[in-house]
Amino acid sequence: MVGILVSLIGTLAIMAAFSVYEGKKRTTTSGDDAQQNGSYALYELERQVRSAGSSIVQGKSYSVWGCPITALTAAAMPAPFNNAALGLPATTPVVPVLIAAGGTSPDAISVIGGDSSQQVFKIGVTSATAGNPVVVGNSFGILPNDYLLGTLANGTCQLGQATAVTTASNSITVAAATTQITGLVNSVNLFDLGPEPIFTLFGVDTTSNSLVSFDQLQRTANGGKGTLPIADGIVQMKALYGIHDGTGPAGESTYAVDKWVQPVGATWGIGALTANTVAAAAAATQIVAIRVAVVAQSRLPERTSDYVGNAALTLFPDLPAAEQYSVATQTQYRYKVYDTTIPIRNAMIVQYY
């Protein structure tokens, strides 16, 4: 009996030690998962945002920035982009990077850019009548399957896709109109966006706690009408605009960020930046970077006795209070905040064109 008692005591001691070890292992593993998810989420966002504005570097000078593409609507967007608090416009405005403020909910980020391998400047249109190929001044660099952005005299834009290009006559045969591709009739100028342009929304699905993307062209190869998961364990995303308005010190770089602003209000709200006005285009030109913070949450809750975290996190703590966000947390989870600044290099080039 004494031997049995000693064995039981030894077993209890071993199980207690194993329980502590297992709890620490789960905590470490869960924390590592959050770290990997947050790092990858920022990597993917940075990769896409850095290419924003490619193929439309002359956009500000030729009525592209802010012009609505009437073919792309927000009516059928899936969650989380159908959240009315985001204020996404009914039509897709052509601005390299836009932030839709979500209030206490995660923000959404819109990225637009092309991948043309040869033609990056505007192309003058000679003729673009119904039922006929579009004739341009110079078709060099335009290839079959390229998406073409056409500007109209009324300030709107339309999207077409080339099916054939005849270089001898500089004529472009355009695919039949669809929901997303309306054609190029009466276009004044064209911009070659290449075969795989970016018309992507990024947001956080709070139901699945994941960073997701949505292709606004709704191409089947990019997920059709649904969202594509990028990284799980992401519970919050907030972003700021980096503005160069000339208020910085004398002699500073024209690419320097003079101040950071939240994407709200009469100047920096998504409604103001997509108004297709001179003021909106001028404001969009001042955006030289965005700063993004994503919050990753551990997968498993911990026992109260093991860990009790803070009830809130402060994002962008190094900035003035007006630019900070307070994010509520659940105290039995571990959180990691990832914060990065992403320059919008293609948008900066507009000062030369």
Q: Is 79 helix (H, G, I), strand (E, B) or coil?
A: coil
Structure tokens at 41: 């989420």
Helix, strand, coil percentages in the chain from 3-state DSSP, rounded to 5: 25, 30, 45
The pLDDT tens digits for 286-305 are: 888 999 999 998 887 776 66
For residue 182, name the pLDDT band (cuts at 50, 70, 90). Answer: confident
Mean pLDDT for the stretch of residues 13-20: 59
How far are the Cα atoms of 123, 136, 344 from residue 139, in angstroms, in the given order?
8, 6, 28
How far are the Cα atoms of 30, 295, 337 from residue 26, in angstroms, in the given order?
6, 20, 20
Structure tokens at 290: 């965005």
pLDDT for residue 185 is more than 80: yes
269 vs 307, residue with greater confidence? 269
Phi, psi angle pair for 125, to nearest 5°: -100, 130
Q: Please state, in angstroms and rounded to a whole number, the distance separating the CA atoms of residues 232 and 195.
A: 29
What pLDDT sits at residue 353? 47
Domains assigned to the chain: 38-115+197-352 (no CATH), 123-194 (2.40.10)
pLDDT for residue 5 is more than 80: no
The CA radius of gyration of the chain, in Å to the nearest whole number, is 25
CA dihedral of residues 83, 86, 90, 93 (deg, nearest 10): -140
What pLDDT sits at residue 259? 93
319 vs 122, residue with greater confidence? 319
pLDDT for residue 18 is more than 60: no
How far are the Cα atoms of 124, 147, 151 from residue 91, in angstroms, in the given order?
25, 18, 15
The pLDDT tens digits for 202-261 are: 999 999 999 999 988 877 655 556 888 888 889 999 999 999 887 777 767 667 889 999
- Here the contacts of 278-283 (C-beta below 8 Å, separation 24 or greater) are 280/65, 280/66, 281/60, 281/65, 281/66
Instruction: Determine if the peptide bond prior to 80 is cis (ω within 30°).
Output: yes
Tally of residues, the chain: 353
pLDDT for residue 27 is more than 80: no
CB 184 within 8 A of CB 160: yes
Phi, psi angle pair for 46, to nearest 5°: -65, -40
Mean pLDDT for the stretch of residues 262-285: 85
The pLDDT tens digits for 65-113 are: 778 886 665 556 888 988 888 888 877 788 889 999 999 999 999 999 8
Mean pLDDT for the stretch of residues 265-273: 90
For 159-218, the DSSP string reads EEEEEEEETTTTEEEEPPP-SS----TT-SEEEEEESS-EEEEEEEETTTTEEEEEETT-
Q: Please state, in angstroms and rounded to a whole number, the distance separating the CA atoms of residues 125 and 239.
A: 38
pLDDT for residue 175 is more than 60: yes
pTM of the model: 0.85
pLDDT for residue 28 is more than 70: no
pLDDT for residue 344 is more than 70: yes
